[in-house]
Structure formats: structure tokens, C-alpha cells
Structure 1
């Protein structure tokens, strides 16, 4: 289980690295996952035995693990503040770094004052009831409790305003993961405080450790999932846009053949969304030109021909029919039968639901290529389409 957790954290850190290099606001999240991955790696017995124990400082791995853990939780906090409260981060970034650095210094001081006669597997259990050891653990756990609680609150608050289901789900999973992280620290704090006071805890030490491990693993799992869901959503949208681009390409080719002037020559990059957006703009520009080649009765006939089409698709389907007829007229050199209707291209509107426009265009493209459209064009032209 622990090995799987470490591997998952390093995979996420590697996955996030390209985005962190390109986008500054992604760097705190990458640093957070890298810090947690480093902390979990330090805790592995093989790493402790080969890399850290030869330095001769008893339980040094614990201090390094907890110092890196404080750094990681600080980066998580900075990331979520930058996302949910960017104005607050402008004046709070350096105080957060200062508090984290002071906490690490205090941690190191208490570590030096804590008796460490031998290397131990679990520093929390080894220091149950010991004042300096408990104080050390309280500094580490207290910092994590505050950082994880604030992060959880901000993740959940911001998720209500997130655009798109994948991002919203990812933020809520991150909020749940940091909430379980806070729960883990509070469970540890309650256990150590109770034992320091000489009282019995609600569970025995072995059960307490088992519960703490389960909560910790659940917190890490939720955070990894929360990080992955939005990225998976972006990947899925990219695949969807590429497929849509292939489906509208025949329509774009046919329409720009008769109205080539609408094709924009500016480079658009490799983004499938931007390329699809460009294609849709150019298709709608052609549609506006072709509107002059069909009379009003042809538009009415196209609407009538959608009687068997589901209601949400009727307008787009009708567009496919009359555009096919107008295309045929323009291709054979016919003269416009009416003036083009002045119209703002709605694909340029910032409030446009792009995915809805894509779905509408796919319906229109399918209708345009259908036998029904060819028949409709023949019935509304002097020569076959």
C-alpha cells in the first residue's frame, strides 16, 4: 500500500511538471505533490537505511519528512489561495513562507531537545507521554491541521463557482482530501494530548495507529484523484474536439469552396479547441453569405421538413437543409434572390456556450451530408444539386 502511494505521488508530480514549467500559477501545486512524494519517500525503510542513517543523526528521517511535509502543506495553501482568493495571496504569500520557516526552525529545536536513544519506526508512538517529543509532534500536526482546514474550506468554496463539471468535481475531491488530512492531524493530536495527560484514549495504541494510517491514505488518495479529474476532463474535451473537427471538416471544405474569402490565414496553433473554433467561425461566415441565395419560402420548407427530428435539433437540422440548397445555387452561379441578413456572428460572443455550438454544428453538418438534404436541394433548385 505505502509503495503504491509513493509511486502515485511521483507519477502525479512528473505529470504536473510540464504545466509547472509553462504556467507560474501551477508551480505551487507541483511543489506540493513533489514535497509530499519526497516526504513519503524519505519514510521508506530502504531510503532511511541507505541514505539517511549513515549520517549518524538518530531519527533524522523523521525531522526531514516533517519539514518537507510542512513545506508541502504550505504550497497547497498557496495554490488554493491563489485560485480562490488571489488578492489575499498578494499580501499573504511571504507571511505564509515566514510562518512555515519559523515552524520548521521550532520543529528542529524541539527535535534536538527530544531524547532519541534509538532509531524508531513511528516517532509519534515512541513519544507518547514524553513532553518534548509531544511538543515536537504538536508543532508539526498543528501546522498541518490549520493548513489543511483552510485549504479544505477554500477548495469547497471555490468549487461552487468553478466552470465545468470536471473542475468542480476535482476541487471537491481536493477539499475532501484536505479535510481528511485535517482529520488525521486532529486524531493524532487528541491521542498524544490524552496520553500526555496520563488518560486513556478512546482506542488502544495499535487501533489508533491503524485508523490514522487509513485516514492518511484516504486523504492522499482523494487529493490524487482531485488533481487527476480536471486533467482527465481536459484530455476528454481535447479528444471530443478533435473528433468534432473531423466531422465538420467536410462541411467546411464544401462551403469554403463557394465562398473562399472567409478563410482566415492567421496561424491558430495546434489546440483542437482553437482550430475547431476557427472552423465554426468560418462556416458561420459562409452561412451568412449563402442566406442571400434562398428565399423565405425555402427557409420555411426547411423548417417543415424537420417534423420528425427531436425538438432540440430542429433548427440546426433545418439549417443543414437550406444551406445545402443555397450552396448548390451559389455553386452553379445563380444570383442572390434577396439581401443578406446583417447578423453578428454569435461565435464571437464571449457568452456563447461553445460546446452547445459544437453540438449544433455537428447536427447541421450531418444534415447537410444526408440524402434528405440532397433531395431538399433538388426540390428547391432548377437543376439537381
Structure 2
């Protein structure tokens, strides 16, 4: 179960970044790193690894898949950091970091298929440590991993400490910390490999596995956090916009059901609307317009007498100032909606400025959320109920 957490997290990040990665090629290397890590962590659990090996009829093939994915991920992170350093800070980086991983992958495959493997291993490097080819396999993998992570760490800290780097710089520092932890992980694997090859392990196998797992998970977490940090303001803005969109749904649906011509599209259910993450800002902008258009239309069903009674009701409950104005508007809106749904003719309602509103979209949204809360309040529902009892159907 614990092994599933990083896999799910990595797949979530991979899917989230997929669209922007293919639209902006400079982000493709980082997306490839997460995709490779997601594949590696997916086949990491023993049950899944055994099933994949059995299906493909190659013993321990998932170990090769994991290590190749690890190599690709390390190379991709290094490429991402190197490209960023070159574009932002003018630091020139050797192009060898693009050729060396290809050689490393070829050597890994050659060593793997040159080793007789009669049984499934719990840990390929430990269980077959007495084979020279597996020793070479481990040396190639950990050497490249260590070199790539060391280079990435140095670049991250070199550029991330620049005073003008902002959130990108802080993200690079987190990535650099993650690659440093990954470097410790790689060195630990090297130490375990050589100790097992000599046939003398001072720590138990379970302890070594647990330590490796903890280091790997910590490195992945820091890299994910560091790569996500620069996008945090946009993510938070999108979450806030989605919350506002969901908050306005009850008022929007209630008013536009009475004035359907103000709606551009067929209204979704509340659950479908809340579950839709697409075009959040566009939908929110459209929703505010449709609510205001509906209010203008319903104002024709709100004569001065109704507005006066609404205000008296609000003040009788102790509301004053802006709160009284908003409650008043909510009360006459509720009655006007019912009158329109009944098919009543328009009254002598006069255009009135909104009780609340904003000069820009942000303040307008806040005002409408406040109106939505007042519309669903007990004060408004009591006023509507009293009106319906007094007015024959």
C-alpha cells in the first residue's frame, strides 16, 4: 500500500504536466522524468513485478525496466536543470549529459542479458551479487545515477541561490536537495552492492531495503515539490477560481432556471459542474455575466412595493447597512423568480443598481458569493414563504 502512494503521486504529476509539456518543448524533459519515475514506481511492488515478468517471459525484467527508467529520469532532470541554467543564467553546460545515458542504458541491457537468472530476485543487485556481470551492472547504474544527480545538485544550488531567481530558484533548491538525497541513495546502493559481493553484510537485508526505500521516497517527494513550487501561484489561483465557480452554482442555477435565455449552454448537474476542471476561469467569467443578466431580467418582476417590503423584512431582523441591502436584494430576487416561473406578467419593476458589486471581476465575484449566501439564508426563505402564503397561486 505504501509503495502505491509515490506511484499515484507521480502519475498525477505526469498527467497534470502532459498538456503543457507538449505545448512547450522546454518542459518536455521534466515531464519525461516524472513519466519515467511513474513507470519505475508502478512496477516496483513485488506482486506487480512478478506478474509483468511472467507475462513477458523474462525473469527479473522489471528490474531492468526500473533501472532504465531511473537512468532516463536522472538524465531528464539534469537536462531540465542544465537547459534552465543556460537560458536564465547564461551558464554553459556540457552536452555529454545527453549522450552518456544512452551508453549507460546499452551497458545495463548488455550486462542484464549476459547474466543467467534462473529465479525471480527480491533484489537483483543483492541476490545475484556473486555474478561479475551483475556487479558491473550495478556499478554502471549507480555510477551514472550518482554522476547525474551530483551534476544536477550542483547546478540547482548554483542557480537557485541567485537573488533574482524567485520561486523558480526556491524550486531549484528543493530539487537540488532532492537530487542530493538521491545521491545518498545511490551511494548507499553502491555500498550494499560491494558488501554483498564480498559476502559480508553488517546490516540485515530488511534494514538496507527500508533505508533505500526511505531515501528514494524522500528524494522523489522533494523533486516533485521543487518542480511544482514555481507553479504554486497559478495552481492556487485555479483552485480558488474553481471554489468560486462551485459557490456560485446554486444562485446561478436558481436564477437562470427562471431566465434560461441568459444561459449560453445547457446547465450541468451540480456534481458534474464541480467535477469539471476545464476552462475554470472562462466558466467563472461567464457565470457572473449570466447571474447579472438574470437579475436585470427579474428586476421587471420586482415593483417598488416588493422591494420596500423586502427592506422592511431585512431591517426587522437586525440587518443594517450593506447587509440589509444584500438581504433585501436576495428577498425580492427569490419572489421575482417565483413570479416569473408562475408565468406572471412583468410588474412595474424599475432598473435599480445592484446592492453589491465590484469594479473588477474579483470584487464582483465576491459580491455575488455574498448574495448567493443571502439568497439561501433562512431570512430569504422565510420572506419567500410568507409571500407565497399571501399570494394565491
Give 5+ residue unaligned stretches, structure 2: 242-278, 282-362, 364-393
CA distance in structure 2 between the partners assigned to 1:63 and 1:144 by the alignment? 14
Aligned to 1:105: 106
Report the Cα offset of residue 145 of structure 1. 0.8
Provide, for residues 77-109 of structure 1, a one-character-per-residue CA deviation record: whole Å limited to 9, x for no partner: 1000001134677861xx433211111111111
CA distance in structure 1 between the partners assigned to 2:166 and 2:237 by the alignment? 12
Aligned to 1:284: none
Aligned to 1:207: 207
Report the Cα offset of residue 72 of structure 1. 1.4
Report the Cα offset of residue 12 of structure 1. 0.5
Report the Cα offset of residue 162 of structure 1. 6.2
Report the Cα offset of residue 238 of structure 1. 7.3
Report the Cα offset of residue 196 of structure 1. 2.2
CA distance in structure 1 between the partners assigned to 2:94 and 2:187 by the alignment? 29
Superposed counterparts of 1:210-249, under 5 Å: 210-236=210-236
Residue 184 of structure 2 corresponds to residue 180 of structure 1: no
CA distance in structure 2 between the partners assigned to 1:162 and 1:18 by the alignment? 31
SS in 1 for 2:19: helix
Aligned to 1:124: 125
Give 5+ residue unaligned stretches, structure 1: 242-269, 273-361, 363-385
Provide the TM-score with structure 2 as the length reference. Answer: 0.56
Do the aligned residues in 1 keep the contact of 2:14 with 2:35 (CA within 8 Å)? yes
Aligned to 2:145: 144
Provide the TM-score with structure 1 as the length reference. Answer: 0.57
Aligned to 1:59: 60
CA distance in structure 2 between the partners assigned to 1:175 and 1:18 by the alignment? 25
CA distance in structure 2 between the partners assigned to 1:158 and 1:238 by the alignment? 29
Report the Cα offset of residue 131 of structure 1. 2.3
Report the Cα offset of residue 199 of structure 1. 4.5
Residue 173 of structure 2 corresponds to residue 166 of structure 1: no
Provide, for residues 170-199 of structure 1, a one-character-per-residue CA deviation record: whole Å limited to 9, x for no partner: 211111111111110001101212332344
Do the aligned residues in 2 keep the contact of 1:129 with 1:192 (CA within 8 Å)? no
CA distance in structure 2 between the partners assigned to 1:30 and 1:162 by the alignment? 27
Do the aligned residues in 2 keep the contact of 1:167 with 1:229 (CA within 8 Å)? yes
Report the Cα offset of residue 139 of structure 1. 1.1
Report the Cα offset of residue 124 of structure 1. 2.4
SS in 1 for 2:117: coil
Aligned positions, number: 243
Superposed counterparts of 1:28-107, under 5 Å: 28-86=29-87, 92=95, 95-107=96-108
CA distance in structure 2 between the partners assigned to 1:177 and 1:77 by the alignment? 12
Do the aligned residues in 1 keep the contact of 2:43 with 2:66 (CA within 8 Å)? yes
The 1:160–1:234 alpha-carbon spacing in structure 2 relative to 1, beyond 3 Å, is farther
After superposition, the CA RMSD in angstroms is 2.9
Report the Cα offset of residue 237 of structure 1. 6.4
Do the aligned residues in 2 keep the contact of 1:156 with 1:172 (CA within 8 Å)? yes
CA distance in structure 2 between the partners assigned to 1:106 and 1:178 by the alignment? 23
SS in 1 for 2:20: helix
CA distance in structure 2 between the partners assigned to 1:67 and 1:33 by the alignment? 13
CA distance in structure 1 between the partners assigned to 2:51 and 2:193 by the alignment? 30
The 1:239–1:33 alpha-carbon spacing in structure 2 relative to 1, beyond 3 Å, is closer
Do the aligned residues in 2 keep the contact of 1:70 with 1:100 (CA within 8 Å)? yes
